[in-house]
Amino acid sequence: MEITDMSNPNIYIPYQMRIEKITPEAPGVKTFRLKFIDEQDAAAFTFKAGQFGEYSIFGVGESTFCIASSPTRKGYIECTFRQVGKVTSALASAEEGDIVGFRGPYGNTFPIDEWKGKNLLFIAGGIALPPMRCVIWNCLDLRENFKDITIIYGARSVDDLVYKQELEEWKNRPDVKLVTTVDPGGETPDWKGEIGFVPYVVEKVAPSAENTIAIVCGPPVMIKFTFPVLEKLEFAPGNIYTTLENRMKCGFGKCGRCNVGELYVCKDGPVFSYEQLKLLPEEY
């Protein structure tokens, strides 16, 4: 007799989301605000800062992005992506009102509860601000839980800075210190921020390591140069967090492709502490 066990949902079937709003951020970079088409899905959905999902255009394929909006804001999720390949090109051609598939939330989360009462230093580069934006807003929405908050963000050029609107908001908040930088040569004549690569700027303006958690996100090369700077500034590796990216497909630890050593970025990450990373090979 055939057995068909329906107790588990089909883990490959995505939620259907409608694109509510598209915001162009930078050349080739867009932000989508997505709403669940099914209201029951919307009501039941929860996630935590640091998690990601698989976003898809039906018939084209799936792509991995973090959830860039904060879990404190209900009713929608946001993602930001750069057009680089087949799926992101199809996403980039989508219009408000179109349907996008979303599988998630996957991955582990930033241990925000452990950071209560501490200073926070967020460091991000280029297109890696989206995963940080989620945790930044999460912390800002719970502002009273934390002491000083500093954000250092850099991109290749002024045009490449994403979330320009948000950067203005953060700049104008008295309870946040924002430092923006562009790579040498990327500045415009009226640029008032720093000029220099992110690791260099971190060394220059970072607050004291005492009672401070550092959260870093950027392309592999930026992360690799920022960690030594933070160590030099006496940040303990256990107090430095990052979120890794790797080639992902399934998002739930079965397709075998995203592992860094024995840990899967999709299941045991994407959030890792520098202490953890030191024990892993550089396979990311």
Partner 1 sequence: MNELIKKAASLLEANEVQVVIGYGLVSTKRPQVIFVTTPADCEQLMFDSRCIQNLAVYLTKEEVKKLGKPAIIAPLPVLRSIVQLAAENQLTEADLVVLGIDPDGKSVEFGSLEAIESFLSDHKIVIEEKYLKKIEEIRNMPVSERFSYWVELLEPCFKCYACRAACPLCYCNRCTVENNQPQWIPVASHPQGNLEWHVMRAMHLAGRCTDCEACYHACPLGIPIHLLNKCLLQDLSENFGDYGPKATKPNMLSSFDPNDKESFIW
Partner 2 sequence: MVVMRTENYSIKKPSIEKLFDNLAERGKTIYAPKNNGERVLFQKIKNFGEMAGDYLVTANSAKEVVFPRYEKVFSYKKTEDGILIDDPADIPFPEVVLWGSRPCDAAAFIPLTNIFEQDYTDNLYSNRRKNLLVLSFSCDTCDEFCFCTSVNGGPGNTAGSDILFTKLSTGDFLAEIITEKGKKVVEENPSLFEASPTEEKEGNLAKVETRFNQDEIQAKLHELFEDPLWAEKSRACLGCGSCVFVCPVCSCFDIQDEAHGSHGTRLRCWDSCGFSLFTLHASGHNPRPDQGARWRQRILHKFRYMPDKSKVAGCVGCGRCSRSCPAGINILDTVTAL
For partner 1, the binding residues (CB under 8 A) are: 61, 85-86, 89
71: left (phi over 0), alpha (psi -120 to 50) or beta: alpha
Query: Please, which of residues 216-255 interact with partner 2 by CB under 8 A?
Result: 219-220, 245-247, 249-250, 252-255
Q: Which of 39, 44, 46, 59 binds partner 2 (CB under 8 A)?
A: 59
The minimum distance between CB 89 and partner 2, in angstroms, equals 11
Contact pattern for partner 2 over residues 121 through 160, marking x by CB under 8 A:
----------------------------------------
SS (H, E, C) the chain: CCCCCCCCCCCCCCEEEEEEEEEEEECCEEEEEEEECCHHHHHHCCCCCCCEEEEEECCCEEEEEECCCCCCCCCCEEEEEECCCHHHHHHHCCCCCCEEEEEEEECCCCCHHHHCCCEEEEEEEHHHHHHHHHHHHHHHHCHHHCCCEEEEEEECCCCCCCCHHHHHHHHHCCCCEEEEEECCCCCCCCCCCEECCHHHHHHHHCCCCCCEEEEEECCHHHHHHHHHHHHHCCCCHHHEEEECCCCCCCCCCCCCCCEECCEECCCCCCEEEHHHHHCCCCCC
Contact pick of 28, 61, 111, 186 for partner 2 (by CB under 8 A): 61
For residue 56, the partner it binds in partner 2, partner 1, none, with Cβ less than 5 to 8 A by kind, is partner 2
CA angle 198, 217, 192 (to 5 degrees): 35
Choose the contact partner of 185 out of partner 1, partner 2, none; CB within 5 to 8 A by kind: none
- Least Å from the CB of residue 85 to partner 2: 5
* Cβ-based nearer residue to partner 2, 25 or 166: 25
Binding marks (x or -) toward partner 2, 172..211, rule CB under 8 A? ----------------------------------------
Q: Residue 89: name its binding partner from partner 1, partner 2, none (Cβ under 5 to 8 Å by kind).
A: partner 1
State the binding partner of 219 from partner 2, partner 1, none, CB within 5 to 8 A by kind.
partner 2
Compute the least distance from the CB of residue 49 to partner 2, in Å.
21
Q: Count CA atoms closer than 13 A to 77's CA, side-chain side.
A: 32
Pick between residue 206 and residue 258 the one whose CB is nearest to partner 2: 258
Task: Confirm or reject binding of residue 4 to partner 2 (CB under 8 A).
Answer: yes
Total interface residues for partner 2 by CB under 8 A:
47
Q: Which residue has the tokens 């408000």?
A: 96
Task: Name the minimum Å distance from CB 251 to partner 1.
Answer: 19
Measure CA 220 to chain center: 14
Residues near partner 2 (CB under 8 A) are 1-6, 8-13, 16, 37, 56, 58-62, 84-85, 88, 99, 219-220, 245-247, 249-250, 252-262, 267, 281-284
